[in-house]
Amino acid sequence: MIKGQKFEEKVAEYMHGRHIGGPGEPDYKRGVIEGEVKDWDKRMGRSAVMTETQKGRDEIVSRKGFTDEAVNYRDQYRPKVKLIDWKTKKPV
């Protein structure tokens, strides 16, 4: 299994973006779209989605997926943000 920066690079390539990474920066960029990649051992929760959307991320890719609370938050407050489950490679 690919971990860390290599995983970010693979996701950036799959999303047709350019890998950036680094503290405070998006993990990839495709035109004006900024994406964040989370390679966590658990599903991404509401507070983490809130934090990333406040940073201006347009897409969030999670290796383990998202909690129902995270999806509900996105649906209610940030409907333009794409949440992508890496297992299925489809938006949630």
Across 30-44, b (16+ Cβ under 10 Å) vs e yields eeeebbbbbbeeebb
- pLDDT category of residue 3 using cuts at 50, 70 and 90: confident
Q: Are 7 and 19 in contact (CB under 8 A)?
A: no
pTM: 0.93
User: In this predicted structure, what is the pLDDT of residue 2?
Assistant: 75
CB within 8 Å of 71: residues ≥ 6 apart: 83, 92
Confidence check: pLDDT of 91 > 90: yes
* Class (C level, CATH) for 4-91: alpha beta
Q: Summarize the confidence of residues 20-45 as an average pLDDT.
A: 95
53-71: per-residue pLDDT in tens? 999 999 999 999 999 999 9
Confidence check: pLDDT of 52 > 80: yes
